[in-house]
Structure 1
Amino acid sequence: MIDDLLRDSIIRLLRDAGGKILEIYRKSDPGIRMKEDNSPVTEADLVSDMLIQNGLAELTPGIPVFSEETKDISFDIRRKWNSFWVLDPLDGTKEFIARNDEFCICLALISDKRPAAGFIHIPVTGKSYCALSGKGAFVIKQNKTIKLPLYIPSGTVKINISRSHHTLQEEKMVEKIAGSYPVIKKTMGSAIKFCRVAEGKVDLYPRFKRSNEWDVAAGDIIVKESGGTFFEIHSGKEPFYNRHDAKIEPFLACGTRGKTICGSIPGGLLT
Structure 2
Amino acid sequence: MNKELQTAIKASLEAGKVIMQVYDTAFDVEIKDDKSPLTEADKKANDVINSFLIPTGIPIISEENKQTDYNVRKTWKTCWIVDPVDGTKEFIKRNGEFTVNIALVTSGKPVLGAIYVPAVRTIYFADVNKNEAFKADLDDHETTLEVLEKLAEPLKPKNDNSDRIEVVGSRSHMNQDTLDFVESLKKDGKEVEIVSKGSSLKFCLVAEGNADVYPRYAPTMEWDTAAGQAICNAVGLQVISKETNKPLKYNKENLLNSYFLVSK
Q: TM-score when scaled to structure 1? A: 0.87
Count the aligned residue pairs.
250
Between stretches 35-44 and 70-79, larger displacement belongs to 70-79
Q: Which runs of 5+ in 1 are unaligned?
A: 260-271
Shift of 1:151: 5.8
**Counterpart check, 1:38 vs 2:38:** no
For the residue of structure 2 that corresponds to 1:54, the secondary structure is helix
Q: What's 1:119 paired with? A: 114
Q: Deviations over 1:198-220 (max 9, x none)?
A: 00001111011232000011111
Give the Cα separation in 2 of the matches to 1:70 and 1:12. 20
Q: What's 2:156 paired with? A: 149
Between stretches 81-90 and 233-242, larger displacement belongs to 233-242
Q: What's 1:23 paired with? A: 21
Q: What's 2:102 paired with? A: 107
Q: After the TM superposition, which residues 23-172 of structure 1 pair with which residues of structure 2 at under 5 Å, given as runs?
A: 23-27=21-25, 29-58=26-55, 60=56, 62-135=57-130, 136-142=132-138, 143=148, 144-149=151-156, 152=159, 156-172=164-180
For the residue of structure 2 that corresponds to 1:209, the secondary structure is coil
Give the Cα separation in 2 of the matches to 1:243 and 1:57. 21
Q: What's 1:269 paired with? A: none
Instruction: Assess if the C-alpha contact under 8 Å between 1:153 and 1:200 holds in 2.
Output: no
> Percent identity over the alignment?
34
RMSD: 1.7
Instruction: Assess if the C-alpha contact under 8 Å between 1:153 and 1:203 holds in 2.
Output: no
Q: Which runs of 5+ in 2 are unaligned?
A: 139-147
Q: TM-score when scaled to structure 2? A: 0.89
Q: 1:70 to 1:9 in 2, by over 3 A?
A: closer
Give the Cα separation in 1 of the matches to 2:176 and 2:157. 31
Partner AA of 1:25 in structure 2: Y
Q: Deviations over 1:127-164 (max 9, x none)?
A: 11111122111112233111111765575311112222
Instruction: Assess if the C-alpha contact under 8 Å between 1:166 and 1:207 holds in 2.
Output: no
Instruction: Assess if the C-alpha contact under 8 Å between 2:7 and 2:52 holds in 1.
Output: no
Shift of 1:12: 2.3
Q: 1:182 to 1:8 in 2, by over 3 A?
A: same
Give the Cα separation in 2 of the matches to 1:124 and 1:153. 31
Give the Cα separation in 1 of the matches to 2:225 and 2:160. 23
Give the Cα separation in 1 of the matches to 2:152 and 2:2. 12
Shift of 1:86: 0.6
Give the Cα separation in 2 of the matches to 1:226 and 1:116. 12
More RCO (CA 8 Å, sep 6+)? 2
Moved over 4 A (4+): 150-155
Instruction: Assess if the C-alpha contact under 8 Å between 1:149 and 1:227 holds in 2.
Output: no
Instruction: Assess if the C-alpha contact under 8 Å between 2:87 and 2:98 holds in 1.
Output: yes
Q: 1:241 to 1:9 in 2, by over 3 A?
A: closer
Q: 1:122 to 1:220 in 2, by over 3 A?
A: same
Shift of 1:109: 0.6
Give the Cα separation in 2 of the matches to 1:7 and 1:187. 28
Between stretches 100-109 and 8-17, larger displacement belongs to 8-17
For the residue of structure 1 that corresponds to 2:153, the secondary structure is strand
Q: What's 2:143 paired with? A: none
Instruction: Assess if the C-alpha contact under 8 Å between 2:86 and 2:200 holds in 1.
Output: yes
For the residue of structure 1 that corresponds to 2:225, the secondary structure is helix
Q: 1:17 to 1:103 in 2, by over 3 A?
A: same
Give the Cα separation in 2 of the matches to 1:213 and 1:71. 15
